[in-house]
Chain A
Amino acid sequence: MSLLEVRELSVRFGGSEAVSDLSFAVGRGERFGIVGESGSGKTLTALAITGLLPEGAEVFGSIALDGEPLPSDERQMARLRGKRIGLVFQEPMTALNPLVRIGEQIEEAISLNGGDEGPLDVSRLLQEVGLEPRHGRRYAHQLSGGQRQRVMIAMALAGQPDLLIADEPTSALDLVTQRKILDLIAEICARRGMTLLFISHDLKAIAALCTRVMVMQKGRLVELGPTERVFRAPEAEYTGKLVAASRFDIPDGARVPGPELLKVEGVSREFRQGGFLPWRGKPLRAVDEASFSIGTGECLALVGPSGCGKTTLAKIVVGLDTASSGGLQLEGTSYRGRDLPNALRRDVSLVFQDPFGSFNPRMTLGRSLMEPLRLASGLTIAERLERVRNAVRAVGLDTGMLERYPHEFSGGQRQRLAIARALVTRPKLLVLDEPVSALDVSVRGEVLALLARLRAEYGLTYLLISHDLDMVRAMADRVLVMEAGRIVEQGSPQELFAHPKHRMTRELVAARLPEIGASPAKI
């Protein structure tokens, strides 16, 4: 008999239906995945199962755990959540109480939901999720993202649940940590014989972890079946699109870069800690003696785990931050960061990671896109408008959008518009800071294809910052690996990923999830 059975589940908010007519069953000990893009209703499905739907939601249909329908009483439901269903959320920082030590929080979870069988204490749970007892004495902010997520898993395990629901548990983590957490979840499920309901937008994570998968789109079930079959031979067109989008085409033949465009020489950036007291604390070196150069037309990728200083370096290159020591040269002109002369500023642009924060919500897109043209002096209003229109057309959007405001657009459209804004000054160097990591899988491919096309058409030079090695392999001519502010290895992507020399590179390469279609048995 199946552990969890969902029948004709619908979730409605006011007039609109967020989840419609969803039926599926999860067997005991099974690792079941739900995959879909944002707004597909996958998180709402999980919330409906745990009875945690936000106010104003109407639920229809039936959900049964172990053959029994879920209690409607909130007190009973709360007991059930702790004892039978464990929950792991996406953002571990907000899910932990910042003022209570980790150990005490786990203890609370044990005393609330502690199972009857066997002694269960904090240190054993910490050990089970790969932490040491000393971590229990710390506060949430003293742990890394991965460690916090381990704590969340430990708390979910406190009630010895039959069902573990993990909602995007790794999407806030970098690649290396993601792999470790996925391994940990798989290991715990196998050891405890626990059933897993794993929710993610990342097909590769699902493929690596789950035996069966359900694909959702706009609140509806699109396809359901064994992971291997669904991803290898998708029946639904939408699944096929998702699978295709999560693979990258590797271009053939490296391009030969032109003359040197940007030269970075021994750039360091230090941040002072400890406020006004100069003797307190060593300054933090976010970037440590970084040196490299980019040729015209080249695509150089900067990879590394989160916090390694990639973004700080990018900010110095575009002139948003100043190097503490060292210098840069753009087309032969020296600068140190913010002192980048305005005449040269139009030759570099930046595409931001988060498409939702990169436009002023109170400005029309036309005005936002026009803004960088201040740098191109001597243009008439008509010429400026023409530039903006051309840029919008170049990214494949309609010029009618310019009168509208950012909130009217989806993430993918905004990222296209952000690229358009970066293009209006006709720059030579485009710095792309994780340009697709905030986007849905199906949109990612489009944006990357657009970037590749623009590069070919306009002869652009890219400095690509990412932790996604597969994307880097598809896009970059040359790769720099960064760790703790230092550039530790460089080379062509093929060579670097086939024969990684430095420990960091090896870790990154090892953390890559297998391509879709590979067997999920071994993770």
Chain B
Amino acid sequence: MRRVLAHPSLAIGLAATLLFAALGLLSLAWTPYPIEQIVIPRRFLGPSPEHWLGTDHLGRDMASLVMSGTLTSFVVAALAVAIGAGVGVPLGLAAAAWGGPVEWLVLRLSDFVFAFPAIVVAILITTLVGPGASNAVVAIGIFNIPVFARVARGGALSVATLDFVAAGRLAGLGNAAVAFQHLLPNIMSLLIVQGTIQLSLGILSEAGLSYVGLGTQPPDTSLGLMLRDAQSLFLLHPWLTLVPGLCIVLIVIALNIAGDGLRDAIDPRLRQSETNVTA
């Protein structure tokens, strides 16, 4: 905890991220108005005591929509990170522990997936099974797999040259045991940092996919979907675009700051301490 506070960027980033996450979680239990409630006579209202952030083109309460949309964005991005890490990290570890053909295969597979942007994968999935938030999760998740595979492999390769890995092999550990007992715990910090960064990228991707209509579908909402609804009204009612747009920007900035801070706090090479100096 002291280490967290010692890095101001980490503290600020984490606090802002947690604030948005808490708002999103709150929407599960309570929103100022139900998000499905359409009141056409009360549309395009500015911020007021009844509607803190005004209402949109269907008279829905913007504050409620933002809360619910933030939750969708977070959930989609987090699930995508979970898919990416869950598949990518074992692949990367396997590449580092087995080497040879396994490594070659993992790297070429990564190249292959990298060649398709998330949006192309999303279009593919949509044509196959139809649009929806879960498809966005899968599309972004697939895109995350090679990212985690490469980070895990890179980190694991540098750990694998250390003597304790050789000691493990001497003790008869197989490649899988070496990967999970010795390599994984020592690259956790790398993975956590990468996870934060992928989370922010995931939120951006989700917004992008929803914006083109491949992600979340009404009556559910997400920040990207709100942007899409406001798009045609931008010149008349810029407020409707500004609110979800700013939310996306703030969340991404918060996550990036938190990621940078985490890296500074965790990476021993960047940590200044007396032991380094007197060694």
Complex Cα distance A383/B172, Å?
19
Q: Are A354 and B163 in contact (CB under 8 A)?
A: yes
* Contact digits for A38-69, partner B, Cβ 8 Å, 1 yes 0 no: 11010010000000001111000000000000
Q: Are B278 and A44 in contact (CB under 8 A)?
A: yes
Q: Are A345 and B185 in contact (CB under 8 A)?
A: no
Q: Are A372 and B186 in contact (CB under 8 A)?
A: no
Q: Are A342 and B278 in contact (CB under 8 A)?
A: no
Taking A354-B163, A358-B163, A363-B185 as contacts, is the C-beta distance between A371 and B171 under 8 angstroms?
yes
The range of chain A's interface size is: 35 or more
Complex Cα distance A492/B178, Å?
40
B249 proximal to A (CB < 8 A): no
Q: Are A18 and B278 in contact (CB under 8 A)?
A: yes
Nearest Cβ distance between residue B274 and chain A, in whole angstroms?
5
A361 proximal to B (CB < 8 A): yes
Nearest Cβ distance between residue B179 and chain A, in whole angstroms?
13
Complex Cα distance A262/B278, Å?
43
A444 proximal to B (CB < 8 A): no
Complex Cα distance A190/B187, Å?
52
* Contact digits for B174-193, partner A, Cβ 8 Å, 1 yes 0 no: 00000001100110100000
List, in ascending order, chain A residues with CB within 8 A of B274's CB: 13-14, 16, 18
Q: Are B170 and A357 in contact (CB under 8 A)?
A: no
Complex Cα distance A359/B185, Å?
13
For window 132-174 of chain B, which residues contact chain A by CB distance below 8 Å? 162-164, 166-173
Taking A362-B185, A363-B185 as contacts, is the C-beta distance between A371 and B167 under 8 angstroms?
yes
Complex Cα distance A41/B279, Å?
9
List, in ascending order, chain A residues with CB within 8 A of B236's CB: none
For window 167-221 of chain B, which residues contact chain A by CB distance below 8 Å? 167-173, 181-182, 185-186, 188
B48 proximal to A (CB < 8 A): no
The range of chain B's interface size is: 20 to 34
For window 262-279 of chain B, which residues contact chain A by CB distance below 8 Å? 272, 274, 277-279
Q: Are B172 and A349 in contact (CB under 8 A)?
A: no
Q: Which of B162, B181, B185 contacts A357 (CB 8 A)?
A: B162
Q: Which of B162, B170, B277 contacts A13 (CB 8 A)?
A: B277
For window 222-279 of chain B, which residues contact chain A by CB distance below 8 Å? 272, 274, 277-279
Q: Are B277 and A352 in contact (CB under 8 A)?
A: no
Q: Are B166 and A360 in contact (CB under 8 A)?
A: no
Complex Cα distance A342/B177, Å?
15
Q: Are A360 and B185 in contact (CB under 8 A)?
A: yes
Taking A345-B172, A363-B185 as contacts, is the C-beta distance between A54 and B277 under 8 angstroms?
yes
For window 356-406 of chain A, which residues contact chain B by CB distance below 8 Å? 357-363, 368, 371-375
Q: Which of B162, B164, B169, B188 contacts A320 (CB 8 A)?
A: B169
Q: Are A360 and B173 in contact (CB under 8 A)?
A: no
Complex Cα distance A55/B277, Å?
9
Q: Are A421 and B167 in contact (CB under 8 A)?
A: yes
Complex Cα distance A421/B167, Å?
9
List, in ascending order, chain A residues with CB within 8 A of B170's CB: 318-320, 345, 349-350, 372
Q: Are A352 and B163 in contact (CB under 8 A)?
A: yes
A binding-site residues for B, Cβ under 8 Å: 13-14, 16, 18, 38-39, 41, 44, 54-57, 318-320, 342, 345, 349-350, 352-354, 357-363, 368, 371-375, 421
Known: A349-B170, A352-B167, A374-B171. 11 other contacts (CB 8 A): A16-B274, A41-B278, A320-B166, A320-B170, A345-B171, A357-B163, A358-B163, A359-B164, A360-B181, A371-B171, A375-B172
Closest 3 CB pairs of A and B: A362-B185, A358-B163, A372-B171
